[in-house]
Structure formats: structure tokens, C-alpha cells
Amino acid sequence: MALPFLFDFWAHEHQLAPEGDWRSWVIMGGRGAGKTRAGSEWVRSQVEGARPLDKGRCRRVALVGETLDQVREVMIFGDSGIMACSPPDRKPKWVATRRCLVWPNGAEAMAFSAYDPESLRGPQFDGAWADELAKWPKARDTWDMLQFGLRLGADPRVCVTTTPRNVGVLKELLELPSTVVTRAATEANRANLAQSFLEEVRARYAGTKLGMQELDGLLLDEIDGALWTREMFDAARVGLMPQMSRIVVAVDPPAGEGKTADECGIVVAGVVMQGRPHEWKAYVLEDATVQGASPLGWAEAVAAAAKRWQADRVVAEVNQGGAMVESILHNVDPGLPVRKVHASKGKAARAEPVAALYEQGRVLHGQGLAALEEQMCLMTNAGFEGSGSPDRVDALVWALTDLMLNGVQGVMPSVRILG
């Protein structure tokens, strides 16, 4: 009866925690490689003692996923989640009002969403399981808050289970000397996967960058078909900014509000109009994006950015909200010059002419744009490869379109000016 719950007997090598002194164990694998089961079993190994009521190594564990629903449905109650992996005499109870698992020996594991990094401010832990880190919408902020909370016990550790993506927080984590990594392709867990699934995905994606990422579990420096690369940004970095001929603040308002709403993309850019139009240079000055703000909150952030940079114009996308967007901005600052724009084509089609400006070396970046650049590297000619909406990229595209393309070179890329 106990044999099915003896994971050390059944586990693949990549699912077993490495020996030695480490702080973060990253399990990078393809889809279906057994990452979730490994994370669940690692949590069990930390909180359980030799007998059901004996204390384990950890007493307070953080369970962090992209959303609270995914923590519950995948990490806790999923087919490979903690509840399914636990034997009857050690099975924890789910206390929904506290978003907490409680084991018979008193150990607890609390659920957190990457949409709300501030919820990790205050609690403290001696262990954590972070699932799909590369998909987290506010990955850097959430990861930082989690690190500050890992302060209990003599040796707090975290297990990270993720399909790799080219995001900065994951790449930085992998470079730390305190991090250990195990990797596995989807086929490593073929005994628990449908043969038809393996045949189909290999036939479709073998040899592609998407296949190497999603099936082989390899971290690629570039997404297949990406419109921007990190090499572009390295070549476009600039320190001291020249005097700008024009400055605009572009805003891509979110459809909703609250902690789970999309970000409100706010990007400030300027242009130096020296020589002929094809010789002009644009400069991305600031990413002032906000998340979770009310309409009044993001409008105040736009007005503050315009005042900070003495902007000539605010360019506002009005697909979401129409005239209400302009009204909200003017309620905050009645004198704010606003140009409304309406997208008539998809995000990738609007972004391609702007990406071409980067290829020509005509756009330069200031400091503090890491989050924007991460999102740009996930925009491809087929769409956005990241989670959520690319609101920072949208705002960038509106800003540079207004400065460098509209009415300058006869190029009007999928935009209708309303006012």
C-alpha cells in the first residue's frame, strides 16, 4: 500500500533533489516532463517527518504560481499536485479561507499569485515551491518579494519548476552560484504520456525553436521570429541624452482594473530631428507602466510622466474606452494635449515597422527599460509569445509611430487618428 507513495523508488533522475549546498533548485523541462510531480513531492519531503505527526524540515512553505486558480488547480489539487501525491495518513487539509494547506503535523503551505507580489510582503517561510516562473506576469517583483520572505530556519530553499522562456529573472537565477539545475525533455516521462501526443508534437515541432523550448526544455536566447533581440538593445544603449526636438507619452489603457488586470502601458519617447527625416533618431526615455491602477490612477501616471518630461503630446489608444480615455486624462489635467489613435490591425502588424527602425539603428534606449525589453523580445511576427498582454510594447509602438512614421515617410502603419 505504501509503495505508490515512495517517490524515490519511482522518480526519474531529474525529479530528485540534487545533493549539496544550494538555495534554489530549478527543474527545467518540456511539457509533460513531470515537473509538477517533482515539485509536489519535494514539498512533501520538506514538510513530512518519519511518522505522520513528526515534524519535517520545513514548517512554513510558500506555494507561488501565475494565479491563485493555478496554484489550487495544478499545484494543490491537480493530477500531480500535492493532494494526489500524499498518502491518506499524511494528506493535508485545504483551508480555503486562509488559502492554506495544513498537514497533520502542523506544517503549513500558503498559496500566492504572481499577479500580487505585495501579498508576499510580511509572511516568512523556510521553503517555497515556485511553479512556471517564466510565465509569471510580474516575475521580477514576485521573485524578489519571495526571496525576502525566505528567512526562517537554518537553510531556507526554493524549488522552481518551469518550462524555460527567455525572461530575465530566470536567466539571472540560472547564473547564480547558489542555483542547481536539472533538465528533462518531454520524452523523459513518456511512460505517463499518450503515444499519439508524443508523435504529433514531434512531427509538428521537431527542429523548431518552439519545439526546443516546449519539448526539449532548452532555454533559448531568442524566440523564433522575434521582432527584437537583446543584441539590438546592446547596440542601441545610450547614456547621456541629447536635446529632444519632440517628446510624446504613449498610453495603452487596460480593459479592466485591479490586481489581476493587464498593465497600463506608459512609455515616454523623444526624437531628434536633425537632417532629413530618414536621418532622425528616436530615444526611448522611460517606461512608466503601472499595474493594477484605477482609471484615475493610470491617468495620473500619464500626466505625471508628461509633466516630468515636458512632453509635447500624449498619444492614447482608444480601442478600450473610446472618448472616455480622453475624458479621464483631461479630468486629471485639462490642458493635456491628447491624440487619440485606434488600431485597425493586429499588434504584430503594428510593431513590424517600428522593429524595422531598430534594425536601421534609428532608435536608442536609455536606462531602466529592462521590463520593456523583456516584453519586446517575446513579440514575434506571429504574435506575442509571453503571458498576458504586451501593453508596454503597445505603448512603445504608439510612441515611435507618432514620432517617426506618421506623416514622415508616407508610412501609416495600421493606425487611424481620431483626434
As a whole number of angstroms, the distance between CA 4 and CA 308 comes to: 62
**What confidence tens digit (pLDDT) does each residue in 1-48 have?**
554 566 666 767 778 888 989 999 999 887 777 899 999 999 999 999
Strand partners, 249: 268, 314
**What confidence tens digit (pLDDT) does each residue in 331-365 have?**
999 999 999 998 777 888 889 999 999 999 999 99
Question: For 123-137, 186-200, 228-242, 310-324, which range has the lowest pLDDT when averaged over its residues?
Answer: 186-200
pLDDT for residue 378? 84
pLDDT for residue 319? 73
Question: For 124-128, 136-140, 223-227, 318-322, which range has the lowest pLDDT when averaged over its residues?
Answer: 318-322
pLDDT for residue 204? 67
Helix extents (H) in 150-294 = 168-175, 195-205, 209-214, 230-236
Is the per-residue pLDDT at 239 higher than 70? yes
Question: Given pLDDT bands bounded at 50, 70 and 90, which one contains residue 267?
Answer: very high
pLDDT for residue 326? 87
More confident residue, 410 or 166: 166
Q: Which residue has the cell 509571453?
A: 386
Is the per-residue pLDDT at 419 higher than 50? no
pLDDT for residue 130? 98
- Mean pLDDT, the chain, integer: 86
Question: Given pLDDT bands bounded at 50, 70 and 90, which one contains residue 75?
Answer: very high
Residues 6+ apart with CB under 8 A from 47: 56, 57, 58, 59, 61, 103, 105, 107, 109, 127
pLDDT for residue 32? 72
As a whole number of angstroms, the distance between CA 375 and CA 379 comes to: 7
What mean pLDDT is predicted for residues 256-285? Answer: 87
Contact (Cβ atoms closer than 8 angstroms) between residue 70 and residue 131: yes
Question: For 54-58, 140-144, 244-248, 344-348, which range has the lowest pLDDT when averaged over its residues?
Answer: 344-348
**What confidence tens digit (pLDDT) does each residue in 84-95 have?**
999 999 999 999
pLDDT for residue 418? 44
- Tell me the helix, strand and coil percentages in the chain, rounded to 5: 40, 20, 40
Strand partners, 364: 283
**How many other CB atoms sit within 10 Å of the CB of residue 259?**
13
Question: For 88-102, 192-206, 312-326, which range has the lowest pLDDT when averaged over its residues?
Answer: 192-206
Is the per-residue pLDDT at 70 higher than 80? yes
More confident residue, 33 or 290: 290
